[in-house]
Amino acid sequence: MPRERRAARLLGLISRHQHVARQRNRLNTAELRILWLLTDGRPRTLRVLSEHLGLEQSTVNRQVNAAIDAGLLRRFSAPGHTAKLLEPTPEGVRQLEEDMAGPLGAADRALDAIGEDADHFLDVLERFVTAYGAEVNALSMGDGADADAAATIEREAP
């Protein structure tokens, strides 16, 4: 099988495995992504959150308001900031940790199964994901886009 097809098959399998793992989550995908970004301890504005998620600000605003209503996020004012900041509530952190415990545990056990090659595997996987993301983003940016510029769009996601 050609290597690009093998890579596509493996990416598809990972996507399927992630879908199965998320079926048990209490949080929806939007809540999960927002909380994942915000649990690094750095509150963010709606605009910055929208940029990190690669979504329209109106879409993220709807998702944030729903998460606030659900008690997962809080919006607050801080000195030196004109825009309000967002951060997870203790309940939001608790639900995220609960939902991520299974998938993160599965990933850890899978890395254990690889053995001493696990760190090397992660280094190579990180390089692949970065390069693949840049290429896919360059495709979506149209002709003439360069992969380095597209790489700056890369986002963290659970």
pLDDT tens digit sequence for 78-101? 898 899 999 999 999 999 999 999
Residue of 50, 43, 51 whose CA lies nearest to 78: 43
Dihedral, 10, 12, 14, 20 alpha carbons, nearest 10: -150
pTM of the entire structure?
Answer: 0.74
Per-residue pLDDT band for 145 (boundaries 50, 70, 90) equals very low
Q: Are 9 and 17 in contact (CB under 8 A)?
A: no
Residue of 132, 135, 133 whose CA lies nearest to 145: 135
What pLDDT score does 127 carry? Answer: 96
- Hey, what are 103's tokens? 């998938």
φ, ψ (nearest 5 deg) of residue 144: 90, -10
**How far is residue 78's CA from residue 138's CA, in Å, rounded to a whole number?**
37
What pLDDT score does 121 carry? Answer: 96
pLDDT tens digit sequence for 28-62? 999 999 999 999 999 999 999 999 998 999 999 99
Instruction: Write down all domains in the chain, each with its CATH number in brackets.
Output: 3-151 (1.10.10.10)
**In the beta sheet, which residues pair with residue 75?**
86
Q: Are 63 and 30 in contact (CB under 8 A)?
A: yes
What is the C-alpha R_g of the chain? 18
φ, ψ (nearest 5 deg) of residue 88: -75, 150
Which of 53-62, 119-128, 138-147 shows the lowest per-residue confidence on average (mean pLDDT)? 138-147
- Longest CA span, the chain: 58
What pLDDT score does 80 carry? Answer: 86
